[in-house]
Structure 1
Amino acid sequence: MSAETPVCQLLERQSTDYRGWLWVSPPRDRWLEAAEGGLLSADRALLSAWRERGGVACSPFSAEELAPEGVVLFWPKAHAQGEWWLLWLCARLEPGTPLHVVGENQGGIKRVLKVLAALGLGCRKVDSARRCSLFASRLGRVDIDPDAAWTTFEAEGLTLASHPGVFGHGKLDDGTRLLLAQLDACLPRQGAVLDMGCGDGILAAWLARRGLTTTAVDVNGFAVEATRRTLAANGLEGEVYHADVYAGLAEQRFDAIVSNPPFHQERAVDYGPAGRLIAGAPARLEPGGQLLMVANAFLPYPDLLERAFGGFEILADDRRFRVYRAVKR
């Protein structure tokens, strides 16, 4: 099976025997899944896909002991997240473990040279092709705790946990702010509410503070951890699940689903998660239950809402974002 993504096509042509190596935060690519390596990722959808094929897959938030032959880190769009992965690997794996770092030139992979140098790790360029570059190094002990990447900030009277791997890192997103401004008039004072795509936990914490029975879900393990920390920091309760939209979520119904769904996978536009959120919402709502979501104004969600609910209304539109409300009849 041939590699599908440019970064994997670059790896495919290497002489290195990657059997027994650990793929860290990779893209979805069937060539990787067919290779004899393990997966380390915070992406629930990717973890599930590997496990369904019988592959070894683990999260950085689990307690597995790892001792791979080597590590391939796929450099992410968010450089601070890439730096966190490096610190985590240096803290958790044996010093001297071979490390390859690969990424797209447009995504800033060449910055890795300076990052590794700042950590006291040597580096050499191995190859470049398909507008991607591959660098080689070895892991070593670094006197920086990966947990130092976790920070907090204040918004809407709440303390929010933040991490480079979480949407809206360190600030309240303008779309979420617009959605919050509409919720007070729409939501009941009691009932069960689902925050789909919980991010740093701002919506989940706001809902829990209101007294609603709150469940939060995100495909991103960093977001799940951030939401749990946010709820704890504010003395609030809620269930938080690492799941891909509704997959793996118990067959529970809600009085409302609230969401600021993502539409990017790295730099590519991806409507899939939002489409599944909308299409599956009626089955997850009680009669009279409502879906309240915010999205960039240009995104093609009205047709999806019309198809799923038979109608919807726009509660707010500031030309950048729209807040939609659809009710299960």
Structure 2
Amino acid sequence: MNAETIHSERARAETPACQLLERQDADYRGWWWLGPPRDPWLETGQGMAISADLVVRDAWQAAGRPAVSPFGLLPAEGEGAPPGAVLFWPKSHALGEWWLLWLCATLPEGTRLQLVGENQGGIKRVLKVLAALGLGCRKRDSARRCSLFETRLGRVAIDPDAAWTTFEAKLGEERLALASHPGVFGHGKLDDGTRLLLETLAGALPGDVLGDVFCDVLDMGCGDGILAAWLARRGARVTAVDVNAFAVEATRRTLAANALAGEALSGETLESDVYSALAGREFDAIVSNPPFHQERAIDYGPSARLIQEAPAHLRAGGQLLLVANAFLPYPDLLERAFGGFEILADDRRFRVYRAIKC
């Protein structure tokens, strides 16, 4: 089967980067696709997806295609190595650099690598990044305001684990050590909205959280784990979830760094597309600083699901507490889901909302 036949049997590409790839004469059978977007051309094609995004992996697997997280994937050698790989350059350049280091450590020297992305997303920066790693590069094509580059992998002296960092968050007299990785929300700093939520939580959560009786709390979109760690330190049994595998790993490391790891203290940390991994479970409180971006695009979908489905995951009297940019359209969603809400804090940039299940 030649490349032309393969292309004719596939769905058409919808995203600009995939439309650029679709017109190539390359035979992508058996290739790895790293950090891919949702696109029917990819999901009905060849090769394996490697993604930290649970939504992407679920879509590939639903289509009968292999898809795995980069965590736990062993170095590929011999027959297990793909003939090539395509890296979709992410909005976070630091994350793109991590992917390059990970590829160099995981795949054999000389493996073909293509790098593709939108020009406004910084794809042209890969020329300097590859040069700094001692890897040659050539431009293969450009179209749809995207560019495609090609290189071959080589060994570099930098361990991809060096991308993990730890920083200290100061909350009044309290200190928390936070693990951080490129691509995780608030990488390397405490987000102002999260700070406002933390300052508000102490007076808003049930008394059990600050006492000796465990209270079950869901940290939705756990990021680097600061909310989970703050809550666990106060006696809550926290279930922390995120759709991003890097965030889940960061939260686990944050809990361990603050001596809060272990089921007795912190509950569990797992990947979940909003409530997808929590069927039938209820909590005393749900706390969140929900995202509203997917790469560079605004996407209210996950936040809307967080609010709309929250009552089904709260016990009677349970409450949803979330912080959001003041301009976001959450009041209507809260009104429809709960029949009412209150604003606990508002600094003109961010608002902390509370809604209680009757």
Q: TM-score normalised to the size of structure 2?
A: 0.91
Question: Does residue 1:322 correspond to 2:351, yes or no?
Answer: yes
Which residue of 307, 312, 334 maps to 1:283? 312
What's 1:228 paired with? 252
Which residue of 55, 58, 62 maps to 1:52? 62
Paired residues in the alignment total: 329
Question: Does residue 1:123 correspond to 2:137, yes or no?
Answer: yes
Question: Does residue 1:181 correspond to 2:210, yes or no?
Answer: no
Question: Does residue 1:68 correspond to 2:70, yes or no?
Answer: no
Distance apart, 1:250 and its partner CA:
4.5
Q: Which string of whole-angstrom CA distances, capped at 9 and with x for unpartnered residues, describes residues 2-22 of structure 1?
A: 100000000000011111111
- C-alpha contact 2:74 2:106 (8 A) present in aligned 1: no
Which residue of 166, 174, 180 maps to 1:162? 180
What's 2:34 paired with? 24
Give the Cα–Cα distance (whole angstroms) in 2 for the partners of residues 42 and 314 of structure 1.
34
What's 1:242 paired with? 271
Q: Which string of whole-angstrom CA distances, capped at 9 and with x for unpartnered residues, describes residues 176-205 of structure 1?
A: 000001100011223100000000000000
Q: Which string of whole-angstrom CA distances, capped at 9 and with x for unpartnered residues, describes residues 207-240 of structure 1?
A: 1001000100000000000000000000003210
- C-alpha contact 1:58 1:64 (8 A) present in aligned 2: no
Residue identity opposite 2:240 in structure 1: A
Distance apart, 1:69 and its partner CA:
1.4
- C-alpha contact 2:289 2:324 (8 A) present in aligned 1: yes
- C-alpha contact 1:260 1:293 (8 A) present in aligned 2: yes
Q: Which string of whole-angstrom CA distances, capped at 9 and with x for unpartnered residues, describes residues 21-66 of structure 1?
A: 1110011101100111110000011111111111111111123554
Give the Cα–Cα distance (whole angstroms) in 2 for the partners of residues 248 and 64 of structure 1.
26
- Which structure has the larger Rg? 2
Distance apart, 1:127 and its partner CA:
0.4
Give the Cα–Cα distance (whole angstroms) in 2 for the partners of residues 65 and 84 of structure 1.
15
Residue identity opposite 2:236 in structure 1: L
What's 2:111 paired with? 97
What's 1:84 paired with? 98
Question: Does residue 1:203 correspond to 2:227, yes or no?
Answer: yes
Pairing 1:123-142 to 2, within 5 Å after superposition = 123-142=137-156
- C-alpha contact 2:31 2:86 (8 A) present in aligned 1: yes
Give the Cα–Cα distance (whole angstroms) in 1 for the partners of residues 118 and 256 of structure 2.
37
Give the Cα–Cα distance (whole angstroms) in 2 for the partners of residues 101 and 77 of structure 1.
13
- C-alpha contact 2:75 2:105 (8 A) present in aligned 1: no
Which residue of 138, 144, 154 maps to 2:158? 144
Question: Does residue 1:5 correspond to 2:23, yes or no?
Answer: no
Q: Which string of whole-angstrom CA distances, capped at 9 and with x for unpartnered residues, describes residues 118-171 of structure 1?
A: 101110000001110000001111100000000011113100001111010100
Give the Cα–Cα distance (whole angstroms) in 1 for the partners of residues 137 and 75 of structure 2.
26
- C-alpha contact 1:241 1:249 (8 A) present in aligned 2: no
Distance apart, 1:249 and its partner CA:
2.2
Give the Cα–Cα distance (whole angstroms) in 2 for the partners of residues 204 and 126 of structure 1.
45
Q: Which string of whole-angstrom CA distances, capped at 9 and with x for unpartnered residues, describes residues 268-309 of structure 1?
A: 000000001001100000000000000011110111100100
Q: Which runs of 5+ in 2 are unaligned?
A: 1-10
Question: Does residue 1:110 correspond to 2:124, yes or no?
Answer: yes
Residue identity opposite 2:191 in structure 1: D
Residue identity opposite 1:99 in structure 2: L
- C-alpha contact 2:114 2:148 (8 A) present in aligned 1: yes
Give the Cα–Cα distance (whole angstroms) in 1 for the partners of residues 218 and 72 of structure 2.
25
What's 1:171 paired with? 189
Give the Cα–Cα distance (whole angstroms) in 1 for the partners of residues 83 and 27 of structure 2.
10
Distance apart, 1:251 and its partner CA:
2.2
Pairing 1:260-299 to 2, within 5 Å after superposition = 260-299=289-328
Give the Cα–Cα distance (whole angstroms) in 2 for the partners of residues 299 and 13 of structure 1.
39
Q: TM-score normalised to the size of structure 1?
A: 0.99
- C-alpha contact 1:25 1:73 (8 A) present in aligned 2: yes
Give the Cα–Cα distance (whole angstroms) in 2 for the partners of residues 107 and 315 of structure 1.
37
Give the Cα–Cα distance (whole angstroms) in 2 for the partners of residues 288 and 243 of structure 1.
24
Distance apart, 1:243 and its partner CA:
1.0
Give the Cα–Cα distance (whole angstroms) in 2 for the partners of residues 232 and 60 of structure 1.
21
What secondary structure sits across from 1:186 in the alignment? coil
Q: Which string of whole-angstrom CA distances, capped at 9 and with x for unpartnered residues, describes residues 92-134 of structure 1?
A: 1111110000011001100000100110111000000111000
Give the Cα–Cα distance (whole angstroms) in 2 for the partners of residues 308 and 205 of structure 1.
28
Identity, % of aligned pairs? 74
Give the Cα–Cα distance (whole angstroms) in 2 for the partners of residues 79 and 232 of structure 1.
28
